Amino acid sequence: MPLLDVRGIQEILPHRYPFLLVDQILEMEPDRIVGVKNVTVNEPFFVGHFPNYPVMPGVLIVESMAQVAGVLVLKSIPDSKNRPVLLTSIKEAKFRRQVVPGDQLRVEMKVLKRRSNVAIMAGLATVAGVVVAEAEVMCVLGDPTVAPQG
């Protein structure tokens, strides 16, 4: 049983379909989190990437990693609904294998450094125990008093 299903994740993250890229949180500790993205053939990005050879874009794998990290960051602060987590840097991103429809992307993120409004986390994404991507991401808590322009 997951710790959080997609409904629980949506209570924490502001992301919604088609940009919510985490389906479950399996494990969560103060400095570590594990999430899952089930990659299905009907993902909207497969229409153009690529029609006859569907491959999950690497930037979306990293986004999935950032969203899993965001769950950990937001879960640990009070009044998180008013504090968006913004991805501010990506370092050392490496893509080792393609992610295709039918894969279950397992994302593990570990805190490297944490301050009141900044978290630097190292992530590893695997499919069936095989590393498909890794990256270090930095997330910053957004200002709760600034409303997004729209």
Asked if the structure places residue 148 within a domain, the reply is no
Phi, psi of 47 (to 5 degrees): -60, -40
Closest to 63 in 3D by CA, of 147, 123, 111: 123
Number of domains making up the chain: 1
What pLDDT is recorded for position 5? 98
φ/ψ bin of 52: left (φ > 0), alpha (ψ from -120 to 50), beta (otherwise): alpha
Whether 131 is in a domain gets the answer yes
Structural domain span for residue 10:
6-141
Arithmetic mean of pLDDT, 13-33: 96
The model carries a pTM of 0.93
In a domain, 150, yes or no: no
Digit-coded pLDDT (tens) for 34-47: 999 999 999 999 99
Tell me whether residue 1 is in a domain. no
Mean pLDDT confidence for 84-95: 94
pLDDT for 137: 98
C-alpha to C-alpha distance for 82 and 2, rounded to whole angstroms: 25
* Residue 49 bears catalytic tag: yes
pLDDT confidence of residue 150? 47
Using left for φ > 0, alpha for ψ between -120 and 50, and beta otherwise, residue 40 falls in beta
Name the catalytic one among 6, 10, 28, 49.
49
pLDDT digits (tens, 9 = 90+) for 39-85: 999 999 999 999 899 999 999 999 999 999 999 999 988 777 767 88
Length of the chain: 150
CB-based contacts of 144: which residues, under 8 Å, 6+ apart? Answer: 79, 82, 83
Tokens of 104: 């279950």
**Within a domain: 77:** yes
CA distance 93 to 72: 20
Give me the half-sphere count of Cα atoms (radius 13 Å) on the Cβ side of residue 45: 17
**147 occurs within a structural domain:** no
* CATH value at residue 47: 3.10.129.10
